[in-house]
Amino acid sequence: MIKLTHVYKIYQPSVHALSDINIEIQKGEFVYLTGPSGAGKTTLFRLITCYDQPTSGAIEVAGVDLKKIKPQDIPLIRRKIGVVFQDFKLLKNRTVFENIALPLELAGIRKAEITDRVNLALEQVGLKYKGPFYPMHLSGGEQQRVAIARAIISKPGILIADEPTGNLDAALSEEIMDLFAKINAQGTTVFIATHNLAFITKGNRRVLKIDKGHIVEHVPSASREEIKYEIELDF
Protein backbone atom coordinates (compact mmCIF):
# COMPACT_ATOMS: atom_id res chain seq x y z
CA MET A 1 0.00 0.00 0.00
CA ILE A 2 2.87 2.37 0.90
CA LYS A 3 6.43 1.51 -0.09
CA LEU A 4 9.53 3.69 0.11
CA THR A 5 12.83 2.32 -1.20
CA HIS A 6 16.16 4.09 -0.55
CA VAL A 7 14.42 7.46 -0.33
CA TYR A 8 16.51 10.58 0.25
CA LYS A 9 15.34 14.17 0.60
CA ILE A 10 17.95 16.91 0.58
CA TYR A 11 17.09 20.58 0.86
CA GLN A 12 19.69 22.95 -0.49
CA PRO A 13 22.39 23.66 0.32
CA SER A 14 22.96 20.48 2.37
CA VAL A 15 20.08 19.70 4.72
CA HIS A 16 19.50 15.94 4.71
CA ALA A 17 15.85 15.78 5.78
CA LEU A 18 15.54 12.06 4.97
CA SER A 19 18.32 9.53 4.39
CA ASP A 20 17.91 6.05 2.93
CA ILE A 21 14.32 5.51 4.07
CA ASN A 22 13.00 1.99 3.50
CA ILE A 23 9.42 1.38 4.65
CA GLU A 24 6.66 -0.95 3.55
CA ILE A 25 3.15 -0.66 4.99
CA GLN A 26 0.60 -3.26 3.95
CA LYS A 27 -3.06 -2.70 3.16
CA GLY A 28 -5.14 -2.47 6.33
CA GLU A 29 -2.20 -1.88 8.69
CA PHE A 30 -2.28 0.66 11.52
CA VAL A 31 1.20 2.14 11.97
CA TYR A 32 2.58 4.83 14.28
CA LEU A 33 5.52 7.03 13.30
CA THR A 34 7.36 8.63 16.18
CA GLY A 35 10.52 10.64 16.75
CA PRO A 36 11.73 14.06 17.97
CA SER A 37 10.57 17.32 16.42
CA GLY A 38 12.51 17.94 13.23
CA ALA A 39 13.28 14.25 12.75
CA GLY A 40 11.61 14.11 9.32
CA LYS A 41 8.06 12.96 10.03
CA THR A 42 6.31 15.78 8.18
CA THR A 43 8.76 15.61 5.27
CA LEU A 44 8.02 11.91 4.93
CA PHE A 45 4.28 12.55 4.84
CA ARG A 46 4.71 15.33 2.27
CA LEU A 47 6.48 12.92 -0.05
CA ILE A 48 3.81 10.24 0.34
CA THR A 49 1.05 12.76 -0.44
CA CYS A 50 2.85 14.29 -3.46
CA TYR A 51 3.31 17.71 -1.90
CA ASP A 52 7.04 17.27 -2.39
CA GLN A 53 9.35 15.02 -4.36
CA PRO A 54 12.28 12.90 -3.15
CA THR A 55 15.79 13.81 -4.18
CA SER A 56 16.30 10.15 -5.01
CA GLY A 57 14.71 6.77 -4.36
CA ALA A 58 11.33 5.25 -5.18
CA ILE A 59 7.91 5.77 -3.61
CA GLU A 60 4.86 3.67 -4.40
CA VAL A 61 1.42 4.52 -3.00
CA ALA A 62 -1.72 2.49 -3.69
CA GLY A 63 0.03 0.73 -6.55
CA VAL A 64 1.19 3.97 -8.20
CA ASP A 65 4.88 4.79 -8.77
CA LEU A 66 5.04 8.46 -7.73
CA LYS A 67 8.19 9.02 -9.77
CA LYS A 68 6.23 8.30 -12.96
CA ILE A 69 3.05 10.18 -12.10
CA LYS A 70 2.16 13.14 -14.32
CA PRO A 71 1.43 16.51 -12.63
CA GLN A 72 -2.15 16.46 -13.90
CA ASP A 73 -2.70 13.07 -12.27
CA ILE A 74 -1.57 14.13 -8.77
CA PRO A 75 -5.13 15.08 -7.68
CA LEU A 76 -6.23 11.55 -8.59
CA ILE A 77 -3.66 9.91 -6.32
CA ARG A 78 -4.50 12.35 -3.53
CA ARG A 79 -8.10 11.15 -3.63
CA LYS A 80 -6.76 7.77 -2.53
CA ILE A 81 -5.12 9.36 0.53
CA GLY A 82 -7.00 11.12 3.33
CA VAL A 83 -4.87 13.58 5.31
CA VAL A 84 -5.55 14.92 8.81
CA PHE A 85 -3.50 17.83 10.13
CA GLN A 86 -2.73 18.94 13.68
CA ASP A 87 -4.24 22.40 13.08
CA PHE A 88 -7.39 21.06 11.34
CA LYS A 89 -7.11 23.37 8.29
CA LEU A 90 -10.86 23.98 8.14
CA LEU A 91 -12.25 26.87 6.10
CA LYS A 92 -13.70 29.35 8.59
CA ASN A 93 -16.16 30.87 6.13
CA ARG A 94 -17.73 27.49 5.28
CA THR A 95 -20.05 25.41 7.43
CA VAL A 96 -19.10 21.98 8.72
CA PHE A 97 -21.16 20.42 5.92
CA GLU A 98 -19.45 22.57 3.28
CA ASN A 99 -15.97 21.81 4.63
CA ILE A 100 -16.58 18.07 4.43
CA ALA A 101 -18.26 18.32 1.02
CA LEU A 102 -15.42 20.26 -0.60
CA PRO A 103 -13.37 17.25 -1.86
CA LEU A 104 -16.48 15.78 -3.47
CA GLU A 105 -17.38 19.08 -5.11
CA LEU A 106 -13.86 19.33 -6.57
CA ALA A 107 -14.23 15.79 -7.88
CA GLY A 108 -17.49 16.71 -9.67
CA ILE A 109 -19.75 14.42 -7.62
CA ARG A 110 -23.51 14.94 -8.00
CA LYS A 111 -25.12 17.19 -5.38
CA ALA A 112 -27.56 14.54 -4.14
CA GLU A 113 -24.74 12.04 -3.64
CA ILE A 114 -22.65 14.67 -1.85
CA THR A 115 -25.48 15.27 0.61
CA ASP A 116 -25.86 11.56 1.34
CA ARG A 117 -22.13 10.97 1.78
CA VAL A 118 -21.55 14.03 3.96
CA ASN A 119 -24.45 13.11 6.25
CA LEU A 120 -23.05 9.58 6.56
CA ALA A 121 -19.57 10.92 7.36
CA LEU A 122 -20.99 13.25 9.99
CA GLU A 123 -22.75 10.32 11.61
CA GLN A 124 -19.56 8.23 11.51
CA VAL A 125 -17.60 10.87 13.43
CA GLY A 126 -20.39 11.58 15.91
CA LEU A 127 -21.40 15.01 14.58
CA LYS A 128 -24.75 14.16 13.03
CA TYR A 129 -26.38 17.50 13.84
CA LYS A 130 -23.38 19.81 13.39
CA GLY A 131 -23.59 20.23 9.61
CA PRO A 132 -24.97 23.83 9.66
CA PHE A 133 -22.42 25.04 12.25
CA TYR A 134 -19.28 27.00 11.45
CA PRO A 135 -15.87 25.80 12.75
CA MET A 136 -15.60 28.70 15.21
CA HIS A 137 -18.63 27.34 17.06
CA LEU A 138 -17.07 23.91 17.62
CA SER A 139 -14.69 22.62 20.26
CA GLY A 140 -11.18 21.54 19.29
CA GLY A 141 -12.18 17.89 19.40
CA GLU A 142 -15.20 18.54 17.20
CA GLN A 143 -13.09 20.45 14.68
CA GLN A 144 -10.68 17.53 14.48
CA ARG A 145 -13.62 15.19 13.89
CA VAL A 146 -14.72 17.42 11.02
CA ALA A 147 -11.19 17.24 9.60
CA ILE A 148 -11.31 13.44 9.83
CA ALA A 149 -14.74 13.35 8.14
CA ARG A 150 -13.36 15.49 5.31
CA ALA A 151 -10.35 13.15 5.02
CA ILE A 152 -12.49 10.02 4.68
CA ILE A 153 -15.31 11.49 2.57
CA SER A 154 -13.68 10.32 -0.67
CA LYS A 155 -13.37 6.78 0.74
CA PRO A 156 -9.57 6.71 0.58
CA GLY A 157 -7.66 3.48 1.07
CA ILE A 158 -5.04 5.31 3.13
CA LEU A 159 -5.47 7.77 5.99
CA ILE A 160 -2.43 9.79 7.10
CA ALA A 161 -2.49 11.95 10.23
CA ASP A 162 0.31 14.31 11.30
CA GLU A 163 0.13 14.85 15.08
CA PRO A 164 -3.70 14.78 15.01
CA THR A 165 -4.05 15.10 18.80
CA GLY A 166 -1.29 17.64 19.35
CA ASN A 167 -3.73 20.45 20.21
CA LEU A 168 -6.20 18.34 22.20
CA ASP A 169 -6.46 17.33 25.85
CA ALA A 170 -6.11 13.72 26.98
CA ALA A 171 -9.82 12.87 26.92
CA LEU A 172 -10.41 14.33 23.45
CA SER A 173 -7.22 12.69 22.19
CA GLU A 174 -8.53 9.32 23.33
CA GLU A 175 -11.78 9.88 21.43
CA ILE A 176 -9.94 10.82 18.25
CA MET A 177 -7.64 7.80 18.42
CA ASP A 178 -10.63 5.53 19.01
CA LEU A 179 -12.14 6.99 15.85
CA PHE A 180 -8.97 6.19 13.88
CA ALA A 181 -9.14 2.62 15.21
CA LYS A 182 -12.74 2.28 13.96
CA ILE A 183 -11.74 3.62 10.54
CA ASN A 184 -8.87 1.13 10.41
CA ALA A 185 -11.23 -1.70 11.38
CA GLN A 186 -13.21 -0.93 8.24
CA GLY A 187 -10.13 -1.74 6.13
CA THR A 188 -8.45 1.65 5.75
CA THR A 189 -4.66 1.76 6.11
CA VAL A 190 -3.82 4.24 8.90
CA PHE A 191 -0.41 5.91 9.30
CA ILE A 192 -0.13 8.36 12.22
CA ALA A 193 2.76 10.55 13.36
CA THR A 194 2.53 11.23 17.08
CA HIS A 195 4.54 12.07 20.19
CA ASN A 196 1.83 10.66 22.45
CA LEU A 197 3.36 7.81 24.45
CA ALA A 198 -0.02 6.77 25.84
CA PHE A 199 -1.16 5.72 22.37
CA ILE A 200 2.14 4.33 21.10
CA THR A 201 2.48 2.03 24.08
CA LYS A 202 -1.16 0.95 24.06
CA GLY A 203 -2.34 -2.10 22.17
CA ASN A 204 -0.31 -3.98 19.61
CA ARG A 205 0.27 -1.50 16.81
CA ARG A 206 3.36 -1.39 14.67
CA VAL A 207 5.71 1.48 15.55
CA LEU A 208 8.34 3.10 13.32
CA LYS A 209 10.87 5.46 14.86
CA ILE A 210 12.63 8.20 12.90
CA ASP A 211 15.58 10.28 14.06
CA LYS A 212 17.63 12.83 12.10
CA GLY A 213 16.11 11.67 8.87
CA HIS A 214 16.81 7.97 9.43
CA ILE A 215 14.39 5.18 10.29
CA VAL A 216 16.31 3.86 13.28
CA GLU A 217 13.84 1.23 14.43
CA HIS A 218 11.10 -0.97 13.09
CA VAL A 219 9.22 -2.12 16.18
CA PRO A 220 6.40 -4.45 15.10
CA SER A 221 6.70 -6.80 18.04
CA ALA A 222 8.82 -5.23 20.78
CA SER A 223 7.28 -4.99 24.23
CA ARG A 224 5.39 -1.81 25.03
CA GLU A 225 7.83 -1.04 27.87
CA GLU A 226 10.81 -1.30 25.52
CA ILE A 227 9.18 1.10 23.07
CA LYS A 228 8.27 3.54 25.84
CA TYR A 229 11.82 3.54 27.21
CA GLU A 230 13.40 4.13 23.79
CA ILE A 231 11.01 6.95 22.87
CA GLU A 232 11.31 8.71 26.22
CA LEU A 233 15.03 9.09 25.56
CA ASP A 234 14.17 11.49 22.71
CA PHE A 235 12.01 13.93 24.68
pTM, entire model: 0.86
- Integer Cα distance of 130 and 169 in angstroms: 21
- With a pLDDT cut of 70, the percent of the chain lying above it is 92
The alpha helices in 125-222, defined as continuous H runs, are 140-152, 170-185, 197-200
Does the structural domain 28-53+71-232 have CATH classification 3.40.50.10140? Answer: no
- Integer Cα distance of 79 and 168 in angstroms: 27
- Integer Cα distance of 1 and 62 in angstroms: 5
- Rounded to the nearest 10°, the torsion over CA 15, 220, 78, 40 is -10
Q: Alpha carbon of 88 to those of 84, 150, 151: distances in Å?
A: 7, 10, 11
pLDDT of residue 8: 96
**Residues 7-41 pLDDT 10s:** 999 998 888 999 999 999 999 999 999 988 889 99
Sequence spans of domains, the chain: 28-53+71-232
Helix-helix angle 170-185:140-152, to 10 degrees: 20
pLDDT at residue 235 tops 60 = no
pLDDT at residue 231 tops 80 = no
> Quick one: pLDDT band at residue 157, thresholds 50, 70, 90?
very high
